[in-house]
Structures are given as structure tokens and as C-alpha cells.
Structure 1
Amino acid sequence: MMDIIGGGAPTAPATGDLIKDVSEATFMAEVVDTSMTVPVIVDFWAPWCGPCKTLGPALEAAVTAAGGAVKMAKINVDENQGIAGQMRVQSIPTVYAFWQGQPVDGFQGALPGSEIEAFVARVIEAAGGEVPDGGLADALVAAEEMLTEGDAESAAETFAAIAEQDPENAEAFAGLARSYLALEQVDEAEAVINGVPDAISAAPEIEAVRAQIELARQAENAGPVAELRAAVDADPDNHQARLDLAQALHGAEMVEEAVDELLELFRRDREWNDGAAKAQLFTIFEALKPNDPVVLNGRRKLSSMIFV
């Protein structure tokens, strides 16, 4: 069985090179011709197919984890009935593995993560390849790239598939929740974090997402930045307006400006509202990466105020 949990695997090729949507026009090139040198797993699916929505992302994660030892072609049977008919696809999901132009393995229906790993490993070994070790890390990298590039839906699917294979992977659960936040689905993100196993509930990645969810909730209720700015300008000692302004600025992705307002609030009255300025600053810092310049500069300025 393919072990994709260890370390030391080479960097995986870009997901777009490994996983492609294939049509009848591109089937020969992307499946038959490509399989002359590298095995190709073909996933026959349809948008209305419930099991396909589970199997597809899990297959993609396993293929990504293999680091280029196998490729994947996704064929929508609704749009490519000719190929589906030639391959005698009678139900979906149906999966075939091609090697040197011929189908050499396959299955129908959804499978658990362990059996998907075993299938991918079997296909690679049948083609004379070696199953990479440590591919789960590569799959996480690929999912992060999807999220960074704005494809939050694909990122969520990949993170979910990784979490299914490794139920105590804090990065996968955090990534899934962050994907939902990117899709502005705060309730779903919160449900993911609330459902993480106890063993990883205090992991830094999980705590960071909890802070991000709290900030997202604040943004949902934040007032207009311009109005709050006007209120603060009219009365610089209106602490509630300044706190509200900071929350609105953060919701508008003006994080550094939000931190500046909170630092000014702390300077004016550090004890106001049970130290609300400091608490809000720590929430923002926790939601960001520790080496983020906003965090480093903000912590330095806050420390200088505390220890004066």
C-alpha cells in the first residue's frame, strides 16, 4: 500500500500537469498517448453524481501525492458520452487505469481512502514505477497552491481528502477551514474546526483558524469604514468607535491599518473594556503567520508601550 505520510519526497509537479479535464477531442493525446510513458488514471464522473464528489477529490489527492508517477484524466460523461460508451461505462463513478495505451486496472463506485491509495500504488507498480514515500506533504503543498491561486473549492476538496486519509492532520483540517473562509462560508469553517479530533484541537494551525473565524464573525457585523473613520475623527477618545473601526478595517483586508488603530486605542487607554485593544491585537496576531511583518512590527510597538 502506498504510504504517503512520511517525508523526503521530491516536490510534486504542478497539479495542472498531473490532473486534467479531458474530452473526446483530447482523449487520445491526454490518455492513450500519455500512457505510453506514464500510467494515466481515468475518472468517469458527472456533476449530479454524489459518490463522484467524494471519490474525485480523494483520487486527485492520491495522484498528487504520487509526485508525477501517475497522471489523472477527468471525463464528464454527460459531455463525453461517446468515450463513455466506448469504454462501456454503465454506472459512475467508474475508474480505469491506462498503461501503454491499454486499460490495465479499474473499479466502480466510491472507495475508502486506503483502497484508493492501494489502487494508485498498484497502477504505478504495474507500470514498473516506484511508489513515492512522503507524498502527503506534496498533496498539502498542492492544496495550498490552489488556495493561494484563488481556487478555494478545489483546495477544500483536496484538504478534505487528505484529512480523510490522515484524520489527525492539523494542516489538512486548518486548510479545509481556511478554504471555507475564502469562500465566505464561515459556518462551514467553524463546523470543521469544532469537529477536529481532540488530539489536534490545540495545534497552532487550528488555533490560528479559530482566530480567523472570530475575525470573520466580527467582519460580518462591522459598520462602514468611512462612517467609523468620521466618528473617530470627530472624537478621538471614542474608544468604541475606534475598536469598531479596527474591526471594519480588518474585514476590508486593511490589516496593518487595523493594527495601527488598535495600538492607538491601547496607547490612549490600555485598560478600557477589560483590555479590549490588546485582546483584539492578539487575535489578529494569532490569525497571521508568526513571521508576518504586520505581526512583527505590531508586537514590537505593543511591547514598547507596555514596558515604557
Structure 2
Amino acid sequence: MADTSPTPTAQEIIETTESRFRQDVLEESLRKLVIVNIWSETQAACNEIKSHLERLIDAAQGKVRLAHLNIASGRAIADQLGIASAPAVIAFQRGRPVDGFVGALPFDQVKGFLERLLGPIEDNADLLSAAKEMVTQGDIAGAHALLAELTSKEPLDPKAFAILARLYVDAQQIDSAKALLERLPESLLKDADVASVLAAIANAERAADLGQTSELQRKIQQDPNNLQAYFDLALALNAENKREEAAQALLEIIRRDRNWQDDGARKQLVLFFEAWGPMDSATVQARRKLSGLLFS
């Protein structure tokens, strides 16, 4: 697993106090831009602003420090800055405030505020959207290059790792997918997209031990009641990314014998759903058919 020590970017997001304000903000602003986020536990909008700022500070790759200041314990600082309520965001450079805003703003406006001071910020979410679009358009090489760049940056973005690992799985490069995900700390393995790819890897490894689909289909033709052949065929088809056909093989088992192998076909179908994702067309169609079989 990856080293879990604090990253340079993580060290640029701090909690400051009245006693540390000079050191954390004023002195640090002589070296780089410092953003002070004045927040309150009683204002829900503060959580949204905090999320926007931290996302952008991550994307800025160490060019700016973010200092959170609780208005309740930092009232004297807030009064000096003329801030009566939270949320309020003040930018410091060369030891003095240079820009700021008060109240909740949408992400794009917060990004625009920082870009006026820093220049363009490449946000991971925008790059991930671009990579997904490349995959949709069939530009796998372009998506691979962009995702390889994203997965080399700190802090580690599990979404980027999941998309790149999925490309490896689809190309039947299972060892590469596993090696990539091994770089993630255990806490990030719980991300829904990463968990989905891990399920896909497990399915692919099981399928690797089975025969070719043509051989399994021949077994079924010889004995239509060979439910194990249907099950093995489902795994093999899924490894070939033939999701609808894989699901249909398991549904056929359920139709013929609901309790086969202690409900094994339905359980495997659920594992497929986890690997494919809830919005995948094969998942949606197979769930509908499964419901029809179970509740008819």
C-alpha cells in the first residue's frame, strides 16, 4: 500500500487560531498566497465553502495555503478584518489582505476568485471528465495518458485510479490493474468506484481458470441442464466484457433452479452489478429481469 504520511498539499490546509495567526498567515503570506477561511459551526454554508476551497487548494499543488479560522474563537481577528459573520474568505499576500468575499458562492465563482490571484487552476474533476469523454469517444490512448498523469499526483485521487484500473481490466491486463490499486492506502480502497473495479478484478481472476466460451456453450448444448456450465459461461462472458450475455446466463440458472448452489447464481449476479456499477445498462436491464423472476 501507499505511504500514508502527510502530503505536501495536505500540509497546506491547516487550522489556525488567534495566537498562531501571525505565524500561520501573515508570515507565511510573505512566501506564498494564503487564503483565510473564516467559518462558523452554526452556518451550514460554511461546509460548502470549505469543500470548494479544499478541492481547489489540492488542485493548486502547493502554490497556496488555506487556513481555517473559527469565528467563535477568532473573533478579535475577524473584527480587525471587518468580518461580522461567516463564511468569509480573505486572501493575504505580502503580509496584508488583498482580496476576499463574504457569504456562500458556487464552486465556479470560488475558482474564479482564486484564479484571479494564482492564474489558471487545473481541477482534477475537470480532467477526470475529459478522460471519461475520451473513453466514450474511443480515444483509449489519450485517456490512458491523462489518467497516468493524474494518478502520479498528490493527493491521490481514487476516481482517477478507478478509471485507469478499469481500462486495464477491459484490456485483460489484470496484473497492471492490481499493481495500480496497490498504490492506494486502505482508506481509499473503500471508494465506491475503486470497490467496483476490485470486484471486476475478482470476477476476471475467477474467469481466467475457466474454459473458452465456445467449449462451455458446447457443454450446454449437450446438456441444457448443466447449470454449472451456465455459471462458468457467465464468468467467461463477463471477462470478455459481454455483460448482457453474462447476466442472461445467470438469469437462466435462476429461472431453472432458484436455489442452485445455495442461491449462487443470484449472488454472483449481485457481484456483477457491483463491478459494473448501478447505472450501467446491463445492470439496469438485468435487475429488471431478476425482479421479474423473483416476484412472478
TM-score by length of 2: 0.55
- Aligned residue type for 1:281: L
- Counterparts of 2:285 and 2:173 in 1: how far apart (Å)? 31
Q: Indicate if the aligned counterparts of 1:155 and 1:179 stay in contact, CA closer than 8 A.
A: no
Task: Give the structure 1 partner of residue 131 of structure 2.
Answer: 143
Q: 1:224 aligns with which of 212, 236, 241?
A: 212
Q: 1:209 aligns with which of 197, 209, 216?
A: 197
- Counterparts of 1:226 and 1:157 in 2: how far apart (Å)? 35
Q: Which has the larger radius of gyration?
A: 2
Asked if 1:287 corresponds to 2:234, the answer is no
Q: Counterpart of 1:272 in 2: which secondary structure?
A: coil
Q: Indicate if the aligned counterparts of 1:246 and 1:262 stay in contact, CA closer than 8 A.
A: yes
Uncovered stretches (5+) of structure 2, i.e. residues with no partner: 1-8, 10-59, 65-115
Q: Indicate if the aligned counterparts of 1:152 and 1:182 stay in contact, CA closer than 8 A.
A: no
Runs of 4+ aligned residues of structure 1 deviating over 6 Å after TM superposition are none
- Counterparts of 1:254 and 1:187 in 2: how far apart (Å)? 21
Task: Give the structure 1 partner of residue 286 of structure 2.
Answer: 298
Asked if 1:252 corresponds to 2:240, the answer is yes
Deviation at 1:242, TM superposition (A): 0.9
What number of residue pairs does the alignment pair up?
188
- Counterparts of 1:267 and 1:221 in 2: how far apart (Å)? 26
Deviation at 1:269, TM superposition (A): 2.1
Asked if 1:198 corresponds to 2:145, the answer is no
Asked if 1:165 corresponds to 2:165, the answer is no
Q: Counterpart of 2:262 in 1: which secondary structure?
A: helix
Q: 1:239 to 1:187 in 2, by over 3 A?
A: same
Q: 2:259 aligns with which of 271, 276, 295?
A: 271
Q: 1:129 to 1:114 in 2, by over 3 A?
A: closer
Q: After superposition, what is the alpha-carbon deviation per residue over 1:22-54, rounded to whole angstroms, capped at 9, x for unaligned?
A: xxxxxxxxxxxxxxxxxxxxxxxxxxxxxxxxx
Q: After superposition, what is the alpha-carbon deviation per residue over 1:101-142, rounded to whole angstroms, capped at 9, x for unaligned?
A: xxxxxxxxxxxx937x79xxxxxxxxx997234622111122
Task: Give the structure 1 partner of residue 230 of structure 2.
Answer: 242
Q: Indicate if the aligned counterparts of 2:147 and 2:160 stay in contact, CA closer than 8 A.
A: yes
Q: 2:119 aligns with which of 131, 139, 151?
A: 131
- Counterparts of 2:153 and 2:118 in 1: how far apart (Å)? 20
Q: Counterpart of 1:273 in 2: which secondary structure?
A: coil
- Identity over the aligned pairs, expressed in percent? 37
- Counterparts of 2:122 and 2:241 in 1: how far apart (Å)? 35
Task: Give the structure 2 partner of residue 114 of structure 1.
Answer: 61
Q: 1:150 to 1:297 in 2, by over 3 A?
A: closer
- Counterparts of 1:289 and 1:147 in 2: how far apart (Å)? 16
- Aligned residue type for 2:120: P
Q: 1:271 to 1:243 in 2, by over 3 A?
A: same
- Aligned residue type for 1:279: K
Deviation at 1:196, TM superposition (A): 1.7
Deviation at 1:243, TM superposition (A): 0.8
- Counterparts of 2:242 and 2:171 in 1: how far apart (Å)? 19
Q: 1:307 to 1:246 in 2, by over 3 A?
A: same
- Counterparts of 1:192 and 1:270 in 2: how far apart (Å)? 38
Q: Indicate if the aligned counterparts of 1:144 and 1:155 stay in contact, CA closer than 8 A.
A: yes
- Counterparts of 1:180 and 1:248 in 2: how far apart (Å)? 17
Deviates more, 1:147-156 or 1:172-181: 147-156
Matches within 5 A, 1:45-84: none
TM-score by length of 1: 0.53
- Counterparts of 1:255 and 1:172 in 2: how far apart (Å)? 23
Matches within 5 A, 1:20-59: none
Q: After superposition, what is the alpha-carbon deviation per residue over 1:229-266, rounded to whole angstroms, capped at 9, x for unaligned?
A: 22112212211111112222223332212111101101
